[in-house]
Each structure stands twice: as structure tokens, then as C-alpha cells.
Amino acid sequence: MNSSQVHRVIFDTDPGVDDAMALYFALAHPAIEVLGITTSFGNVTVAQAAQNALYLCALAGRRIPVTQGVDRPWLKPAEAPPAYIHGADGLGNLPDRMAVSEQLDLRPSAQFIVDMARANPGEITLVAVGPLGNLSLALLLEPALPSLLKQVILMGGTVLEPGNVSPVAEANIWNDPHAADRVFTAGWPLTMVGLDVTHRLVLPVTLFQKIADHHRHRATDALHHAVSFYADFYGARFAHVAAVRGCFGHDVLAFIYLVAPYLFETQSGQVRVVSDGLAQGQTILKRQPGIDYPHPGWDASRPASSVCMALDAPACSALFETTLMRSWLPA
Ligand code: BDR
Ligand code: CA
């Protein structure tokens, strides 16, 4: 594969079990080069998220710059992380952790994003799969950021599918709705990979067992352990997920969209985020392009996003499996 076919990526994440899945997909895929990992509060505290990113990279034998980012929402009060979904450590309560010597890059995540974008104008894709405070802060540091990045692909939000933290809100957006609205209205090429598609991809624990058996490596063992914990949460809430003892693949679909966008159906339109009240965190897609609404929040000058509304789930699942079964781990 020549270098022009490789996607150069900054991964903004709050690992998190499905974040770990996404990271390992990215490290295993030959067309993705992870230039850096920026971290946020969300599934765990930001300090834990950063340590988890370092740890996951060390397990996989990869040295990638990791930075620590925002530790709370832009305006709304901070809340305790959901240990019942991802475990108190974010990785399904791993029974033991090997010591790792790698240290954080000491720049704040937003500064790292700005530095990398300025040094590589137009080249970097930002894949964001947590609350969006780092991107929002980076926009304040460098208002020209939308023209310095190639594109943003984010896991978050929902249009027609019910929310997962309220009837209308998805967790990443709900965690920092003010930051999210800033990101959706910034004017960069942006694709939203939300619950409309992520709730269509159920990955069974047996698949992670198969991957772990194939590699016999501590990285895939840790992923298998984490997914087993995560599957218990989803199994208790969705009968069809319990039936296969599986989980949703949420974050990995942002990377699958990056390398295989033809597996998705998208709709283009302005997206705004409800910042307060009962519908806090709702992502609203303007689905009728021909209508010129009088409400000032929807004037035609606001940029449009591309929103994933359907996907080929069997093909996404097959791509996930073939990618993780490649030889991507050191002996
Ligand atoms: C999103 O919220 C987090 O719990 C997951 O890691 C994912 O990014 C799904 O709503
Ligand atoms: Ca996440």
C-alpha cells in the first residue's frame, strides 16, 4: 500500500471498552496510521483514559504519543463515570496490569491537535469517539482548524434511533452538549456515526474469544476480558444482544467508516445539539433541505454534516474480524 492510501489519524477517545476495540482495529488495519491519541473524561476520568490509552498501546507493542485532555464538560456539572458499563478501570476491571514505562506527551490534548494540524495541513483525519471537549477547545486555540484538518469522523448522536442516556440523547453528546454543538457548526467536513448505525452492529463475545485464541497475545486477551464485562451490560438491556452474548461496536464504526464508507448510507444536513433541558444532548438533523426555517438556529449559512443512517452490518462485522485476525501484534 503506498503512503497516499494511508489515512493519517488523531484518535480522540475515552477508553472505554469499545474505544479499546476501535484502537485495536486502527492499529491492525494497514490503511490507518495513528499519529497520536488524545483523551477525554467520559467512560472514565481523563487521567484513567490517558493511562488506558498508554496501556493499550504498550500491550500491543506500539509507541504512539498519548496526551491528556479535558477533565469535565464545558458548562454543565461533571458526573461520575459509568463504572457499571465499562468497569471502574474502563477496561472491564482487568485482573492484573503489567507495569508500563511509557509516559504521556505533556501537551494538553487540544494543543496537540492544533500542533499536529498546523504541521500537516489538510492531511489529518480526526476520529473522535468520546465527549467533544478537546475538539471544541482546539477550535478556540486555532479558529482556522477546520481548514487545517482533512475531516472529522465522530461517534456520537442519534437521529431516529432512541438515545442511550435519555429517550433522545446519546452518551458522548450528552456528556458535553455545548462542546458538541460547537463541533457540529465549525465548518469542517464532518461525518456523524451515531446510534442509527451503531445499534445495528452486534459483536458476539465468541468473536473476541476467536481473535484471542488466534493471537494468544496479552493485547487480545485484555480486549476479550473487557468485552466480556461490557457484554453483560448490553445483555441486560437488549434481548437480541443477550441472545448472542454480544455488545454494540459503537466506536469501531467510526474507523470502519473511514476505511469503508461504501458500507454506509448517509444523509446530509445541518446538525444542531440541544444544550439544556429535557432534551439535553439531542442531535437534531435538518432532514428537509428545501425548507428555509425562520428559526435563527437553522439559517442556511450554517454548515452541513454527513450523518450515517444505515449500514451493511454483516460486511462491517466481517471487516472487523478479518482486520483483527491479521498479523498486527509483535511476538
Ligand atoms: C458511546 O458512549 C461511550 O460509552 C462509548 O465508548 C461510545 O463512545 C456510545 O454511546
Ligand atoms: Ca468512547
Residue 16 sits in a domain whose CATH number is 3.90.245.10
Residue 2, pLDDT above cutoff 80: no
Q: How far is the CA of 229 from the centre of ligand 1 (A)?
A: 15
- pLDDT value for 331: 86
In a domain, 270, yes or no: yes
- In the residue annotation, 14 being an active-site residue is answered as yes
Give the SS3 label for residue 9. strand
Q: How far is the CA of 57 from the centre of ligand 2 (A)?
A: 16
- pLDDT value for 289: 86
Domain of 81 in residue numbering reads as: 3-291+301-324
Provide mean pLDDT across the span 249-260.
98
From 12, 13, 18, the mutation candidate for ligand 1 (largest count of ligand atoms within 8 A of CB) is 18
Q: Contact, 49 vs 90, CB < 8 A?
A: yes
In a domain, 271, yes or no: yes
Number of domains in the chain: 1
Provide mean pLDDT across the span 266-275.
98
Protein residues with CB under 6 Å of any ligand 1 atom? 16, 18-19, 43, 129-130, 155, 164, 170-172, 250-251
- Catalytic-role residue among 14, 19, 89, 176: 14
Q: How far is the CA of 60 from the centre of ligand 2 (A)?
A: 19
Which range among 3-12, 42-51, 296-305 has the greatest average pLDDT? 42-51
In a domain, 105, yes or no: yes
pTM of the model: 0.97
Residue 135, pLDDT above cutoff 80: yes
Pairing between β-strand 246-248 and β-strand 202-204 as defined by DSSP bridges: antiparallel
- pLDDT value for 297: 92
Residue 62, pLDDT above cutoff 80: yes
Dihedral (Cα; 197, 288, 273, 162), 10-degree rounding: -40
- Catalytic-role residue among 7, 29, 217, 250: 250
